[in-house]
A = this chain, B = another copy of it.
Amino acid sequence: MTPERFEKLQKTLRRRQPDLRVLTDHVHKPHNIAAIVRTCDAMGIAHLHMVWPHDQFGHYGKTASGSDRWVTVHPHQTSLEAIQQQKKEGRKVIAAHFSDRAIDFRDYDYTQPTTLLLGQELFGVSDESADLCDEHVVIPMQGMVESFNVSVAAAIILSEAQRQRQQAGMFDELRLDQKEYETTLFQWAHP
């Protein structure tokens, strides 16, 4: 490994935002999962939670771009368990979801510890998951189709989160704890 490469690993880890996470709730198409993992890496997200029942979806495959090397993927068997874990760890869970209580995605404060929940390609966020979430956010639609592709919706919302955290200076300080920083650096540098 060149010194430049090692420095890039360090720089990336110094920007990671452990208290901004994504939770995919039964999203299952490989190209959507791949795009979401890649977007997470590029937006500084270290942890991706996936509700991914083994019996329904089979084994979670490696993504083409190799970006899953840079994002820790946490599989969960049920939405309930995944959402409860986020809350127990002190993060608000916000669903990207149309509902009566949904707010414009730009009106949410993403500098708070937050997990963004994304719904399934066809059926969206289930009623049970929606009920458990602290907030619902929507991206306004100007056209005839009713929704964005799920990886597109993720990217639009995360881009706003990234903008807010940038403005708040949250990419300028180490936000991983020292132990996670060192463990991850070691794993990345010695695959």
Contact of A151 (CB < 8 Å), options: B70, B145, B149: B149
Chain B residues within 8 Å of A62, by CB: none
**Interface code A36-69, partner B: CB below 8 Å = 1, 0 otherwise?**
0011111110000000000000000000011101
- Residues in B whose Cβ lies below 8 Å from that of A42: 139, 141-143, 145, 148
Give the contacting residue for A38; candidates B34, B44, B149; CB below 8 A: B149
Min CB distance, A98 to chain B, in Å? 13
- B residues within 8 A CB of A44? 142-143
Q: Does A156 contact B (CB under 8 A)?
A: yes
In the complex, chain B residues whose CB is within 8 Å of the CB of A162? 142
Q: CB of A171 within 8 A of chain B?
A: yes
Q: Which residues of B contact A163 (CB under 8 A)?
A: 106
Asked if A31 is an interface residue, CB under 8 A from chain B, the answer is yes
A41–B143 touching, CB < 8 Å: yes
Distance in angstroms between the alpha carbons of A8 and B66 in the assembled complex: 42
Interface: A73 (CB within 8 A):
no
CB within 8 A of A155: which of B66, B69, B155, B171?
B155
A152 at the interface (CB under 8 A from B): yes
Chain A, 4-34, CB within 8 A of any chain B CB: 8-9, 12, 15, 31, 34
Partner of A145, one of B65, B106, B171: B65
User: Which B residues touch A142, using CB under 8 A?
Assistant: 12, 15, 42-44, 162, 171
A residues in contact (CB < 8 Å) with B: 8-9, 12, 15, 31, 34-35, 38-44, 65-67, 69-70, 106, 139, 141-145, 148-149, 151-152, 155-156, 159-160, 162-163, 171
